[in-house]
Amino acid sequence: MRKRPYRNGEIWDFEAEMELSNNDSRYRQQAVILGLDGGTTSTVCVCIPFNYTCTDNNVNSEDGPLPEPPSVLARAVAGCSNHNSVGETAARETLERVMAEALLRSGSTRSAVLAVCLAVSGVNHPTDEYRILSWLRQIFPSHVRLFVQNDSVAALASGTMGKLHGCVLIAGTGTIAYGYTEDGRKAWAAGAGPVLGDWGSGYGIAAQALTAIVRAHDGRGPHTALTNCILHALDLSSPDELIGWTYEDPSWARIAALVPYVVSCAEAGDQVANRILLDAVQELASSVKAVVRRLGLCGEDGTDHFPLVMVGGVLEANKRWDIGKEVINCISKDFPGAVPVHPKVEPAVGAALLAWNFLMRQSRKDAIRS
């Protein structure tokens, strides 16, 4: 049997069976692209057709509507793929399995793949990119174009339909503002995790609420409706029990899940909860402003248009106290050209579109040379 120039293993056993069932010489697999969004909670891989057509990459409202998103041939989900959280071996296995699952569900093999864009949290340095690229080259045939990015880039691309220009604000359990210019410059603010101050994130909001309850209980802070609301939600009888509840499992997502109660109390008129949310708005807006200024996205006079992609549960407009809307209002005072964009597709599709756009640019360059 001819030795393949790329890695095989039981994860890819389905390919041999697929090739046997499709051994008709007239059969030809559809060319596809894989896009991956890997985070600390889950990893998503989508498979899209290469023959997707897009007539306009502009995302500013003045320039026209967003192009229609591509069809997704298959989607697969796995666990954490952040090497800082689970280790490199476990992260690699998760990524390889989710890619294999997406190809299996789409009826494709690696020979049909033209490009892979892997956008994963924990990729913060060129050495991270190089290490992951080296591993991907062991998995895929030599013709496959490979790209590695931070997961924030995929979130940006999900709002710009694959065009790397503008700023994305992510506010979920954690938060980060990430910006990119058309000439390839990038910058980010926040994103250092709760220990170093991801203020404005779901974790930051909820942690401040828990602190306010403790301060009110021991006399260091004002009375707040947060006390009864959150104790009732957690089935606790006293603020003293919050200490045990918190440190029993201090996972970031578990704490961040309390954000809706903070919003509810603020909507009911509680001043402490209201101040926590107002502080969060200022923190989130300041992250975006820092990125915009560093990259000059607003132009010399501060009025140039640029897409501001809003991603994450904290920014969802499902309450009267709309954090996302307040953040936009705060940013627009300094940068009136910011154009809010709420993505139509998930970040994994954004990653796939990044690869698609690169292939199309390369195709146009090749056509000019010929």
Q: How many CB atoms lie within 10 A of CB 63?
A: 11
**For the chain, the helix, strand and coil percentages under 3-state DSSP, each to the nearest 5:** 50, 15, 35
Lowest mean pLDDT, pick from 2-16, 153-167, 180-194, 220-234? 2-16
Class of domain 29-163+346-369: alpha beta
- Give the pLDDT score at 4: 47
pLDDT tier at 341, thresholds 50, 70, 90:
very high
Q: What percent of the chain is predicted at pLDDT more than 70?
A: 91
140-to-96, 100, 221, 222 alpha-carbon distances in Å: 10, 11, 59, 60
- Give the pLDDT score at 56: 47
- Give the pLDDT score at 328: 97
pLDDT tier at 7, thresholds 50, 70, 90:
low
User: Which residues share a beta bridge with 78?
Assistant: 43
- Give the pLDDT score at 324: 96
pLDDT tier at 24, thresholds 50, 70, 90:
low
Q: Are 36 and 123 in contact (CB under 8 A)?
A: no
Where along the chain do the CATH 3.30.420.40 domains lie?
A: 29-163+346-369, 202-341
351 pLDDT higher than 70: yes
- Give the fold, CATH level 3, of 202-341: Nucleotidyltransferase; domain 5 (3.30.420)
| Mean pLDDT within 323-341 | 96
- Give the pLDDT score at 20: 74
- Give the pLDDT score at 64: 47
9 pLDDT higher than 80: no
Six-digit token string for 230:
């959150």
Q: What percent of the chain is predicted at pLDDT more than 90?
A: 63
- Close Cβ partners of 77 (under 8 Å, ≥ 6 residues apart): 42, 43, 44, 45, 98
Q: Is residue 31 exposed (0-12), middle (13-18) or buried (19+ Cβ within 10 Å)? A: middle
117 pLDDT higher than 70: yes
288 pLDDT higher than 90: yes
Spatial distance between the Cα atoms of 81 and 121, rounded to a whole number of angstroms: 8
